[in-house]
Chains A and B, each alone.
Chain A
Amino acid sequence: MENISSKEVDARDSDARLSEKELTLNMGPQHPATHGVLRLVLDLSGETIVKCTPYVGYLHRGVEKLAENRNYMQIIPLTDRLDYIASMANNIGYCVAVEKLFGIKVPERTEYIRTIVGEMARITNHLLWLATHALDIGAMTVFLYCFREREKILDFFERLCGARLTVSYPRIGGLKNDVDDQWLEDLYKFTDEFPGRVEQYETLIDKNRIWLRRTKGVGVISAEDAINWGLSGPALRGSGVSYDIRKFSSYGVYDKVKWQVCIGKNGDIYDRYRVRMEEFRESNSIIRQCIEQIPKGPIMADAPKFTLPAKDRVLADMEHLIHHFVLITKGPQTAPEGELYVATEVPKGELGFFFVSDGTGRPYRMRIRSPSFVHVSALPAICEGELVADVIANIGSIDIVLGECDR
């Protein structure tokens, strides 16, 4: 018989019990690193995640139900509140969808301006993403640098339409107001210096050993799985799938400027980070080319049943005032009957609007296919089998915002 003390036996027993016992850990919904009100219940075996169950819905405001009771004009501000980090992209996505439903063709100048502000929204979104993602992993400095540039773009939005975050700038068939030359000139100057700033962020983290250890080979999702889960945007492209709606869809002027789809290879956190860093440069270059090419012309489509009259005409004669008043208070009275799904590439992925129109001025059904909702649903697939410390890095890398997830 072995000669061991009772103390040792106790210690051995408790060790055995410790290793057998699974621990359930609740994370959120007020955890600062969950980017909003995401709640995760993690079943842990030691530090390894056995099961991850996300709970969402804390920010559910019933946008889809509300939309059924609003006319097409009144829904634009609702779309601001989906992805409030890049509201401009949502507005554009919604307007593009409604225009396709109504069969409106918007003027070329509008397409250019929408492309410019859409790419600015992408830059602001990726800046906030990089800032918070790096902060979560422990790199504080990047946060301050990113917010410096984000502030500048938000100032551009403010000069453009008066709002910084919830912009509501596009209108059905056009835009709220035209851009002036000074604004374009200042923006062009900003695009001169911005690529240098991106290099600054990269020198801060890209050769940082902690950053590389925390991101390389962590949170891997294969291309096949990513497609099967329905991921989109940088989260899908990081796995090496070249799927970008801007390349083959007919909105904006992405076919008139030179740019390429940025893709990763390994599908880990690092590759998703690289994809977004490259998108900074591509977006910047798209904005520059658009400013160089932008033509003069009207900004509202010629479809009086659905689009607002020009502001100077409204202030000059009675007919246009009445027209403006009726459209603002009652909205478009008719719409073509039919069903349509239109997707646009917002910074986070594929934002789709599915309309069922019964011919009245209100959508019979408006379904929002939001990228964040799909990305959160795939979180267990990315997290399970990995360490608990990497959950934070994984949440950051799929870039979610709960306002869009819960709608």
Chain B
Amino acid sequence: MEPLEIVDRLKERFSEELVDVKQFRDQVFATVKREKILDICRYLHDAPDIQMNYLADLCGVDYPGRRLRFEVVYNLYSIKFKHRLMIKVQLPESDPSVDSVVSVWKGANWHEREACDMYGIVFNGHPDLRRILMPEDWEGYPLRKDYPLKGPEGWEYKGFEELRDLHSHDKEWNIQS
């Protein structure tokens, strides 16, 4: 099925939810409201002639200055029919949360954790929403556009010093930083 046909099917079924449809090269991006994202995903996964059974990717994007600052992009693919559709939801900065789709694709688990880690997007109903790539006690969300490339202001890496202070016998070994 052509991606635009799938969008038409979405229009029929979720006419209220569909916000915007864009096309670039051969790929179609359909922006939907966040409230029913789980229903939409389940429909796309289960409908016999769509069968988006493969969640190729899920990621966040940050657009500071927009009214709805964050975007989550669901990259859906059907291994049987070989068609692809990108679904997007936009989230406000004050409440960046959206329903988790782990119940539809188990593979969404870590992608959602990463989006949470990098952008601070909360996925409601996620079984295990912890930081994944950054250390557990990290503050801030590194991939946000207002996060400086060099890290937070005045921050420097102290891991080695902490480790050295922890082990008093280092003095016997005469280790210098």
A282 at the interface (CB under 8 A from B): no
**Chain B 15-54 against A: per-residue CB contact (8 Å), 1 yes, 0 no?**
0000000101101010000000000000000000000011
| Contact A227 B57, beta carbon cutoff 8 Å | no
The dominant DSSP class at the B interface is mixed
A264 at the interface (CB under 8 A from B): no
A223 to chain B minimum Cβ distance, whole angstroms, is 10
B116 at the interface (CB under 8 A from A): no
| Contact B56 A338, beta carbon cutoff 8 Å | no
| Contact A60 B133, beta carbon cutoff 8 Å | yes
Separation of A339 and B149 alpha carbons in the complex (Å): 23
Q: Which of A208-216, A296-304, A325-333, A372-380 contacts B (4 or more CB under 8 A)?
A: A372-380
| Contact B133 A406, beta carbon cutoff 8 Å | yes
Q: Which residue of B lies closest to A53 (CB)?
A: B128
Q: Which residues of A contact B106 (CB under 8 A)?
A: 225, 228-230, 378, 381
Q: Which residues of B contact A350 (CB under 8 A)?
A: 56
B7 at the interface (CB under 8 A from A): no
A57 touching B61 in the complex, CB below 8 Å, given contacts A227-B54, A248-B82, A341-B27: no
Q: Which residues of A contact B86 (CB under 8 A)?
A: 339, 341
| Contact A230 B133, beta carbon cutoff 8 Å | no
A273 at the interface (CB under 8 A from B): no
| Contact A230 B142, beta carbon cutoff 8 Å | no
B126 to chain A minimum Cβ distance, whole angstroms, is 13
Q: Which residues of A contact B132 (CB under 8 A)?
A: 56-57
B19 to chain A minimum Cβ distance, whole angstroms, is 15
| Contact A369 B107, beta carbon cutoff 8 Å | no
| Contact A377 B107, beta carbon cutoff 8 Å | yes
| Contact A227 B56, beta carbon cutoff 8 Å | no
**Chain B 136-167 against A: per-residue CB contact (8 Å), 1 yes, 0 no?**
00000011000101000000000000000000
A313 at the interface (CB under 8 A from B): no
Q: Which of B22, B107, B135, B143 has the most CB of A within 10 A?
A: B107
A57 touching B133 in the complex, CB below 8 Å, given contacts A64-B143, A369-B57: yes
Q: Which residue of A lies closest to B151 (CB)?
A: A62
A340 at the interface (CB under 8 A from B): yes
Q: Which of B22, B57, B109 has the most CB of A within 10 A?
A: B57
Separation of A231 and B143 alpha carbons in the complex (Å): 25
B55 at the interface (CB under 8 A from A): yes
A372 to chain B minimum Cβ distance, whole angstroms, is 11
| Contact A354 B133, beta carbon cutoff 8 Å | no
Separation of A89 and B142 alpha carbons in the complex (Å): 28
The B78-123 residues at the A interface (CB cut-off 8 A) are 79, 82, 84, 86, 105-107, 109-110, 114, 118
A230 touching B143 in the complex, CB below 8 Å, given contacts A57-B134, A248-B82: no
Task: Jot down 21 A-B pairs with beta carbons below 8 A, ordered by A.
Answer: A57-B134, A57-B135, A60-B134, A64-B143, A103-B25, A225-B106, A228-B107, A229-B105, A230-B105, A230-B107, A248-B82, A338-B25, A339-B27, A340-B27, A341-B27, A354-B73, A354-B75, A364-B61, A369-B56, A374-B110, A377-B110
**Given contact pairs A228-B107, A241-B79, a sample of 11 additional A-B residue pairs in the complex whose CB atoms are under 8 Å apart:** A57-B131, A57-B135, A65-B149, A229-B107, A230-B106, A339-B29, A341-B86, A350-B56, A364-B61, A369-B75, A373-B110
Q: Which A-B residue pairs are the 7 nearest by beta carbons?
A: A230-B107, A338-B24, A377-B110, A57-B133, A369-B57, A367-B59, A60-B133
Which chain B residues have a beta carbon within 8 Å of chain A's beta carbons? Answer: 22, 24-25, 27, 29, 53-57, 59, 61-62, 73, 75, 79, 82, 84, 86, 105-107, 109-110, 114, 118, 131-135, 142-143, 147, 149
Which chain A residues have a beta carbon within 8 Å of chain B's beta carbons? Answer: 56-57, 60, 62, 64-66, 69, 100-101, 103, 225, 227-231, 241, 243, 248, 338-341, 343, 350, 352, 354, 356, 364-365, 367, 369, 373-374, 376-378, 381, 406-407
